[in-house]
A and B are shown apart, each in its own frame.
Chain A
């Protein structure tokens, strides 16, 4: 399966812990996007990255959240000191370039206790 891969699929954290979400884009795709979906809501853009560069992080909360897409390895979305309001589904998408269709991974469901 050459689709977008995300892990873990489910993640449970206690308040104050750190959450690390990983995303491997489709083969041949160098553009990665992270979106957050709260229950019964639409998807909200968080951050857009290319290899080693953050292109647009306008949707990222100013504190506790960070993202990277290193030269080697998957893209990482990191949430420090998680709070209950961070509980959501986090989806990663990838595209061949910025104007092409985006393909989504299966998501990581984060639950903060």
Chain B
């Protein structure tokens, strides 16, 4: 079945440093979605990438979808303490048993030290 690997598992940064998390899927994806979850909270939708090679920006966050639509990354520039949380990627396949459902990566737990 489809698997999504995400690294690193943990990332500790000083406030102001950059942060990147990477996702890699075992199969080609129809789209990938990124979520942020705070401790005790629920996943909050950040963005969806659909096109091969797509790059989207949201203020200090940059999301990329690979040319082969199997990998993706999230980069945060100049982290702030409000960025703390777990960042998940979630891939959606093209059909069959991948239809509709999201396969989540393990998440990257980001800690930002002031």
A42-B88 contact, Cβ under 8 Å, with A33-B101, A48-B101, A102-B33? yes
Binds B, one of A12-20, A61-69, A70-78, A103-111: A103-111
CB pair B97–A56 under 8 Å, yes or no, is yes
CB pair A43–B30 under 8 Å, yes or no, is no
- Chain A, interface size category, equals 20 to 34
Q: How far is the CA of A55 from the CA of B99 in the complex (A)?
A: 9
- Chain B, interface size category, equals 20 to 34
- Encoded as 1 (CB less than 8 Å from any A CB) or 0, chain B from 33 to 45 comes to 1010000011111
Contact of A42 among B33, B97, B101, B105 (CB under 8 A): B105
Note all chain B residues with C-beta closer than 8 A to A105.
42
The CB with the most chain A CB atoms within 10 A, among B33, B42, B92, B106, is that of B42
Note all chain B residues with C-beta closer than 8 A to A98.
99-100
Q: How far is the CA of A44 from the CA of B42 in the complex (A)?
A: 14
Give the interface of A toward B (CB within 8 A). 31, 33, 35, 41-45, 48, 55-56, 58-59, 91, 93, 98-107
Contact of B33 among A55, A56, A91, A101 (CB under 8 A): A101
**Can you offer 28 A-B residue contacts whose CB atoms are under 8 A?**
A33-B100, A33-B102, A41-B106, A42-B107, A45-B101, A45-B102, A45-B104, A55-B99, A55-B100, A56-B97, A56-B99, A58-B101, A59-B101, A91-B42, A91-B43, A93-B43, A93-B102, A99-B30, A99-B31, A100-B48, A101-B33, A101-B48, A102-B33, A102-B90, A102-B102, A104-B35, A104-B43, A107-B42
